[in-house]
Amino acid sequence: MQRKWWKEAVVYQVYPRSFMDSNGDGIGDLNGVTSRLDYLAELGVDVLWLSPIYRSPNDDFGYDVSDYRAIMDEFGTMEDFDRLLQEVHARGMKLVLDLVVNHTSDEHPWFVESRKSKDSPYRDYYIWRPGRDGREPNNWRSVFTRSAWEFDADTGEYFLHLFSKRQPDLNWHNPEVRERVYEMMTWWLDKGIDGFRMDVINAIAKAEGLPDAPHTDADGYGWGGVHFLNLPKTHDYLQEMNKRVLSKYDIMTVGETGGVTTADARLFAGADRHELNMVFQFEHVDLLDSGPGGKWDVKPWSLEDMKTIMSRWQNDLYDVAWNSLFFNNHDQPRALSRFGNDGPYRVPAAKMLATFLHLLQGTPFIYQGEEIGMTNVRFAQIDDYRDVEILNLWQERVIEGGEDQELWMQRIYAKGRDNARTPMQWSASENAGFTTGTPWIAVNPNYEEINVEAERSRPDSIYQYYRKLIRLRKEHPVVVYGKYDLILSEHQQIYAYTRTLGDACWLVVNNFFAEPAEFVLPEDLRGRVDAAQLMIANYFVDSTESVRQFALRPYECRVYSL
């Protein structure tokens, strides 16, 4: 297998709006990020990925860009950015930006021009269509509202928006659009950034003729993913992008690709495909705890499904492509609350989830606050929420649809994106040390207990554990390159696997539940037990204890070198 720096790296995602506010306006900013670089260097991460920092009216907090070459007013200036980049590099770290080019903001000059007239030279930068029988051009549902089409009275046509109506989709079939995007990417790469995370990049190509979604819901709209996700054309565009831009730099690229199968991922990220280095897949976060009704149809997850999904990704990509590893990001509820425990076992559960994830094969991504065990939040009022997805849903289902408020609050508590967007908890002082002003979204009330200051001072904290995990990766190639094999596949409570590279064989054992569990080493590994050495664990382990069989405490994990 080919060695690459981005396979050996650990990435840390910063959601700048919620990370650190440097000027007291309640909104995190670039100078805030710069002021915390020493903390990130101490944690040991190699790459920072910043969620969008470009100029934006913030309908979707930066995922709606109005100028790709300017910094969002609230986040600072281009000088602030240049200093941040320089300071990141000075610490031996790298900086990756979010590339949001499936759509722009409706305030982007291209769209402003595009909507002016049917003859505008920018008309074809977006996807405009006349209506059909007095209705939308097709039945596609948008991710954030009902129809994916918005009528524009000035020219009497509809434009496509897979997300909010303030995020019109770019027309990637227009070569001029692609040119402009490549120019812009080149401009940032020449500035010295180290790569891109590419927002919904598997949706850029749309099927010819924009055919209807196969099924519709009661409101007449349906999910048209088959007509815009992972289409062959998308691969053509990415290969073109790779040839024109990416291949000229030693950078890291990761595509956000909801709905990908391992077969798709082998195309996007296959070593010989010349597209991307890796993709984010979402089966483990989209499917595990969602019923047939989708994301908001919350159901309990099962360890069996987790094993099936994670093992499929580990096996199918082995030696062909490369996995990204994540449980958290700015779109997901906190994994600790979701798959672990945010009550009495918060600390061991956070360490176990980290161990499980970082010991798989792939590049691990840490989302801000994960390393201190931040949890979901439960705001009492809908007015405390800020996310366009949550607010649109509330409007549609509760206000217009008359559905039960309490039911929807529970769903938002479980799945809402604002769970991940409450301010980073730096200390026990006011507003968790995030801002001296009024934070744009309320701080999680548990900040007095859960914060960076407390975590740094305790030798057995979650934070110190993450540092140790990251060090292990640097010291032992088996953590990066070892082959994954699931063991005890039928066990109801333990998720255990081995990683093998040459003579090295590591055993990773995780109890995913609060109930104790009994681990028994499979026969074929018994020959190796005499040399067993404990590499990391989240409880004290007596060194005389046998590896052949042992009892696991609540959420206990252990990693042995056999």
- Could you list the active site residues? 199, 256
370/379 Cα distance (integer angstroms): 20
256 binds, among ligand GLC, Ca ion, none (CB under 5 to 8 A by kind): ligand GLC
Q: Is 387 in the site for ligand GLC (CB under 6 A)?
A: no
When binding is defined by CB under 6 A, the residue of 199, 283, 370, 556 that contacts ligand GLC is 199
How many residues are there in the chain? 562
Q: Is 327 in the site for ligand GLC (CB under 6 A)?
A: no
228/544 Cα distance (integer angstroms): 57
Rg (CA), the chain: 24
Q: Is 163 in the site for ligand GLC (CB under 6 A)?
A: yes
Number of residues that bind ligand GLC (CB under 6 A): 9
When binding is defined by CB under 6 A, the residue of 100, 246, 472, 509 that contacts ligand GLC is 100
Q: Is 370 in the site for Ca ion (CB under 5 A)?
A: no
When binding is defined by CB under 6 A, the residue of 21, 60, 136, 289 that contacts ligand GLC is 60
Which residues are 551's β-sheet partners?
Answer: 518
Which residues are 126's β-sheet partners?
Answer: 170
163 binds, among ligand GLC, Ca ion, none (CB under 5 to 8 A by kind): ligand GLC
Contact by Cβ (8 Å): 56, 105: yes
Cβ closer to ligand GLC: 7 or 165? 165
Sign of CA dihedral 362, 363, 365, 370: positive
Q: Which amino acid is residue 405, in one-letter code?
A: Q
275 binds, among Ca ion, ligand GLC, none (CB under 5 to 8 A by kind): none
Which residues are 12's β-sheet partners?
Answer: 48, 366
Q: Is 21 in the site for Ca ion (CB under 5 A)?
A: yes
Cβ closer to ligand GLC: 163 or 463? 163
Cβ closer to ligand GLC: 185 or 349? 185
Contact by Cβ (8 Å): 148, 140: yes
Task: Report in angstroms how near the CB of residue 435 gets to Ca ion at its nearest.
Answer: 7
35 binds, among Ca ion, ligand GLC, none (CB under 5 to 8 A by kind): none
Q: Is 485 in the site for Ca ion (CB under 5 A)?
A: no
When binding is defined by CB under 5 A, the residue of 10, 14, 27, 288 that contacts Ca ion is 27
Considering only residues 245 through 304, tell me which ones interact with ligand GLC, judged by CB under 6 A.
256
27 binds, among Ca ion, ligand GLC, none (CB under 5 to 8 A by kind): Ca ion
12/137 Cα distance (integer angstroms): 41
Torsion of CA 171, 174, 179, 185, to 10 degrees: 20
Question: What 8-state DSSP symbol labels residue 285?
Answer: I
Where b means 16+ CB within 10 Å and e means fewer, 389-417 reads bbebbbeebbeeeeeeeeebbebbbbbbb
Task: Report in angstroms how near the CB of residue 149 gets to ligand GLC at its nearest.
Answer: 17
Cβ closer to ligand GLC: 255 or 348? 255
Task: Report in angstroms how near the CB of residue 141 gets to ligand GLC at its nearest.
Answer: 14
Task: Report in angstroms how near the CB of residue 501 gets to ligand GLC at its nearest.
Answer: 33
Task: Report in angstroms how near the CB of residue 465 gets to ligand GLC at its nearest.
Answer: 27
Cβ closer to ligand GLC: 346 or 417? 417
- In 120-205, which residue ranges form alpha helices assigned H by DSSP? 175-191
Task: Report in angstroms how near the CB of residue 53 gets to Ca ion at its nearest.
Answer: 12
Task: Report in angstroms how near the CB of residue 76 gets to Ca ion at its nearest.
Answer: 8
Q: Is 63 in the site for ligand GLC (CB under 6 A)?
A: yes
E strand or H helix at 469: helix 462-475
Torsion of CA 441, 446, 452, 455, to 10 degrees: -160
23 binds, among ligand GLC, Ca ion, none (CB under 5 to 8 A by kind): Ca ion
| CA distance readout (Å), 333 to 175, 296, 328, 539 | 38, 12, 7, 26
Task: Report in angstroms how near the CB of residue 366 gets to Ca ion at its nearest.
Answer: 23
When binding is defined by CB under 5 A, the residue of 1, 4, 8, 23 that contacts Ca ion is 23
* DSSP string covering 368-421: TTGGGT------SSGGG---HHHHHHIIIIIIIT---HHHHHHHHHHH-GGGGT
* DSSP string covering 99-133: E--SB--TTSHHHHHHTT-TT-TTGGGB-EE--BT
Q: Is 25 in the site for Ca ion (CB under 5 A)?
A: yes
Cβ closer to Ca ion: 26 or 373? 26
Q: Is 200 in the site for ligand GLC (CB under 6 A)?
A: yes
Which chain residues interact with ligand GLC by CB under 6 A? 60, 63, 100, 163, 199-200, 256, 330-331
Which chain residues interact with Ca ion by CB under 5 A? 21, 23, 25, 27, 29
